[in-house]
Structure 1
Amino acid sequence: MAVGWDGGGSIRVPASMSGVEGLATTCGRIPFERGSTSTNNKAGPLAPTITDIALSYLLLSQPHPKSFTTNLIGEAYLPLPYLTDLSTHDPANFNLEEVRLGVFWEHFQHTDPFVYEKSLNAVQFLEGKGATIVNITIPYLREIHLSHGLKIVSEFGNLWESPFYNTTYQLEANTEITVMLGRTLTADEILSAEKIRHFAIQYVRKNLFEGLQLDAIVSPMLGDKVPKLPRGYRGYGESNTALVYKIMRFVPLANFLGLPSLTVPIGYEEDTGLPIGFQLLGDAWSEPTLIRLGSVVEQLQKRKTPPAENFFDVLKPWLKS
């Protein structure tokens, strides 16, 4: 298990690209230091199986009295972490007849055709297990995504302001660009983004999860296949906003609204063998539901050993043997 922080997909995107599972929890669910520096950031585990995700979630989700979000929400109002009992059930035989899954089809198809095909197979697989697929619409989604970008860039610029203006502190070039962009935003722009956030929270939670009684909203995890790294990236990094936005197409809603989201591997690209992820977005504090659904999705695709050229053992440098 590894611990990640997700302000714009930084748990789910690398997990999806690496063929593992990643859970970005409800904002405030997992306490961590410097939690007050971002309204989009949340912590969560990356792990190879849904069982590892479940155990990691229980371990990490204990309220901490010194945590910013624990104090902000109030420890008495934080629901205790729990799990649906999976020990007596075979996920392959789970009956999902009472499960309702929302799909925004117009948005769902905005990815690579092969990723779309695999993601559609996952929806059909869940439907075959008894789940009801509900057609949904999320209005002003482009504005919601833009507002997320404004907020996270402004918070990033604020967090890195001192190192940015310290000439002895070297930042990677793309980081400098992001900080500079964040420092140019006005209070009116940030307040406008917050108004859109208020609308989006009300609409998604009240109209979709509560009104349509959804258990999750499902989509592809990435807006494209895993991209190739360009020449020279090791020395300088890469600044490619268009590519980043394309990859993040299904990411921002969970961060901007503070909702939990899980990515589960569902297949592999035919030409490269690189993995494809599937996303389940839940209402606040619904991690147990996402984990249960993830245990079903996990049955869709048998895991493959990564090709040698795409695999790096992160433990090897730390092990003596």
Structure 2
Amino acid sequence: MSDLVRRTAAELADALASGETTSVALTQAHLDRIAEVDGAVHAFLHVDAEGALAQAAESDARRAAGTPAHALDGVPIAVKDVLATEGLPTTCGSKILEGWIPPYDATVVARLKRAGLPILGKTNMDEFAMGSSTEHSAYGPTRNPWDLDRIPGGSGGGSAAAVAAFEAPLALGTDTGGSIRQPGAVTGTVGVKPTYGGVSRFGLVAMANSLDQVGPVTRTVLDSALLHELIGGHDPLDSTSIDQPLPDLVGAARQGASGDLSGLKVGVITELSGDGYQPGVLARFQESVDLLVAAGAEVVEVSCPHFVHALATYYLIMPCEASSNLAKFDAMRYGLRVLPEGVDNPSAEEVMRATRDAGFGDEVKRRIILGTYALSSGYYDAYYGTAQKVRTLISQDFSTAFEQVDVLVSPTAPTTAFKLGEKVDDPIAMYLNDLATIPANLAGVPGLSVPSGLADEDGLPAGFQVLAPATADDRLYRVGAALEAALQQKWGGPLVPPELNGVAR
């Protein structure tokens, strides 16, 4: 494996700035790594080698002229296949969008291009971001680089696996109920869900508009801060975008890395531990809390009583919004079109029925049916309306908690990565993986997952989640970087998955 692919994005940016390497060289190194191991991992749905190298050559020309577009200019990145990319396929992991090439870029993709980051390709995901394992992709599952027989989390398992397997130093994901943070936890990567509205959603193929958020997937907290600052900020094309500057995220990460958390008050969420949580995950969580105390933080227990209803609330609100959003895939305007068998001159309704039956997978159909039912006449108030009331109570729990503490913490996911196929036929068991991450999406607050170590039972990564008040994303980076520094000092370096060279599946 090339030394270039093992370096962090910040280290690669320094190497480019010093002239030690070129963007073409490091982009080619990552393309070589993808060719070497992605047959086993299946993190990518589409690799754009020609486009990435052309963008890298342009970056090198800017560096030679002394006019780099950004500190990360020339550092390659992978993009989750739910974000529109002009000239590259965007399938959302679904057959219904197979071959669709958008005529425009999502705002975050446009910002990447303006900053000069070569785009390596599009990463695999659960179809329309519906899943917790990346087993629900129409193009086959992604595998966890720590154990190829296990899931990499979901829905953004492709982005997390690409970063964990050293196929990309940076990636973009989306988080609707934990789809950045939960894959981060089970692959040993850093994943951040920014404040809702803090990063533009324009060009993100929506599953649930009030919950979806784009965010960074990286190997270090500092890299996440660098990427977050690049993609974040107000966007007039997104009506939910917050019209105010981002806090100093990179400065907060650098401050946190010094290891001093004096004056910070941390709340351990009582409802997000105990029954249902793997002992090894809880052990790594407690060790991490102890390290925060050693860094000077004050730790107290905080109760958020309505969090116990978050899972049920989410799985009413999200399917309702998803069923509405996916109505546009009607075989009339773009995407797949299937004609019903044995029907002469079929009606538009018959074509739509045949197309949606062939184009959508089982999990998508399940959520469309659930959402349509919950929104139907006679049930709207009982289900969707009631869920929105509970959502308000969950937001109030956060508000009350943040009057007492600066940040809240919990395990990111109840367990480490489970085996492929283990829960694919048990949707309720699958949904439980988002138990700790969902409250942040319901309230719109930011969250970060940082690796907390390997569970004793299976030697697989666990994650530590930090939550902060809305627009206080800098607190995530201060705490996350402090914990990361303390853990890596304890471990003697970062968590690194087993080598994948020579693996073929």
Q: Which residue, out of 209, 213, 226, partners 2:402?
A: 209
* Cross-structure match for 2:280: 114
Taking the aligned partners of 1:87 and 1:24, their CA distance within structure 2 comes to 16
* Cross-structure match for 2:264: 99
| Contact 1:263–1:278, Cα closer than 8 Å, also in 2 | yes
Taking the aligned partners of 2:255 and 2:439, their CA distance within structure 1 comes to 31
Residues 1:10 and 2:179 are matched in the alignment:
yes
Using a 3 Å threshold, how does the CA distance of structure 1 residues 139 and 308 change in structure 2: closer, same or farther? same
* Cross-structure match for 2:452: 266
Q: How does 1:205-284 map to 2 (within 5 A)?
A: 205=399, 207-210=400-403, 212=404, 214-230=405-421, 238-270=424-456, 272-284=458-470
* Cross-structure match for 1:194: 388
The residue identity in structure 2 corresponding to 1:62 is G
Residues 1:60 and 2:246 are matched in the alignment:
no
Taking the aligned partners of 1:12 and 1:69, their CA distance within structure 2 comes to 22
Taking the aligned partners of 1:163 and 1:123, their CA distance within structure 2 comes to 46
The residue identity in structure 2 corresponding to 1:19 is G
Q: What is the DSSP-based 3-state SS (H/G/I as helix, E as strand, rest coil) of the residue aligned with 1:68? A: coil
Taking the aligned partners of 1:20 and 1:311, their CA distance within structure 2 comes to 23
Residues 1:28 and 2:202 are matched in the alignment:
no
Taking the aligned partners of 1:4 and 1:53, their CA distance within structure 2 comes to 12
* Cross-structure match for 1:180: 369
Taking the aligned partners of 1:86 and 1:144, their CA distance within structure 2 comes to 30
The residue identity in structure 2 corresponding to 1:241 is P
Q: How does 1:89-168 map to 2 (within 5 A)?
A: 89=255, 91=257, 93-110=258-275, 111-163=277-329, 165-168=352-355
Task: Work out the percentage of aligned pairs sharing the same amino acid.
Answer: 28
| Contact 1:264–1:298, Cα closer than 8 Å, also in 2 | yes
Taking the aligned partners of 1:87 and 1:12, their CA distance within structure 2 comes to 18
Greater relative contact order (Cα < 8 A, sep 6+): 1
Deviations 1:16-35 (A, max 9, x none): 12111000001000002256
Taking the aligned partners of 2:392 and 2:252, their CA distance within structure 1 comes to 36
| Contact 1:50–1:291, Cα closer than 8 Å, also in 2 | yes
The residue identity in structure 2 corresponding to 1:148 is Y
Runs of 4+ in 1 over 4 A off after TM superposition: 34-37, 86-90, 309-312
Deviations 1:148-185 (A, max 9, x none): 22111111121123437542241111221121111110
Which stretch of the first structure deviates more once superposed, 298-307 or 54-63? Answer: 298-307
The residue identity in structure 1 corresponding to 2:410 is S
| Contact 1:84–1:292, Cα closer than 8 Å, also in 2 | no
Taking the aligned partners of 2:495 and 2:239, their CA distance within structure 1 comes to 41
Taking the aligned partners of 1:310 and 1:246, their CA distance within structure 2 comes to 34
| Contact 2:253–2:478, Cα closer than 8 Å, also in 1 | no
Using a 3 Å threshold, how does the CA distance of structure 1 residues 88 and 180 change in structure 2: closer, same or farther? closer
Q: What is the DSSP-based 3-state SS (H/G/I as helix, E as strand, rest coil) of the residue aligned with 2:173? A: strand
The residue identity in structure 2 corresponding to 1:20 is T
Taking the aligned partners of 1:157 and 1:310, their CA distance within structure 2 comes to 42
TM-score (norm 1): 0.85
| Contact 1:267–1:276, Cα closer than 8 Å, also in 2 | yes
Unaligned 5+ segments in structure 1 are 313-321
Shift of 1:227: 0.6
Q: What is the DSSP-based 3-state SS (H/G/I as helix, E as strand, rest coil) of the residue aligned with 2:355? A: coil
Deviations 1:183-242 (A, max 9, x none): 11032121111111222222321x2102x1x121100011112111128x9xxxx34223
Taking the aligned partners of 2:457 and 2:221, their CA distance within structure 1 comes to 27
Q: What is the DSSP-based 3-state SS (H/G/I as helix, E as strand, rest coil) of the residue aligned with 2:249? A: coil
Matched residue pairs, number?
A: 299
Shift of 1:122: 0.5
Taking the aligned partners of 1:282 and 1:53, their CA distance within structure 2 comes to 16
Q: What is the DSSP-based 3-state SS (H/G/I as helix, E as strand, rest coil) of the residue aligned with 1:267? A: strand
* Cross-structure match for 1:315: none
The residue identity in structure 2 corresponding to 1:200 is I
Taking the aligned partners of 1:88 and 1:58, their CA distance within structure 2 comes to 14
TM-score (norm 2): 0.55
Q: If you compute each CA radius of gyration, which structure gives the higher value, 1 or 2? A: 2
Unaligned 5+ segments in structure 2 are 1-169, 331-351
Deviations 1:234-261 (A, max 9, x none): xxxx342232233112011110000100
Taking the aligned partners of 2:468 and 2:301, their CA distance within structure 1 comes to 16
Q: Which residue, out of 294, 309, 319, partners 2:480?
A: 294
Using a 3 Å threshold, how does the CA distance of structure 1 residues 90 and 204 change in structure 2: closer, same or farther? closer
Q: What is the DSSP-based 3-state SS (H/G/I as helix, E as strand, rest coil) of the residue aligned with 1:276? A: strand
The residue identity in structure 2 corresponding to 1:282 is A
Taking the aligned partners of 2:502 and 2:474, their CA distance within structure 1 comes to 31
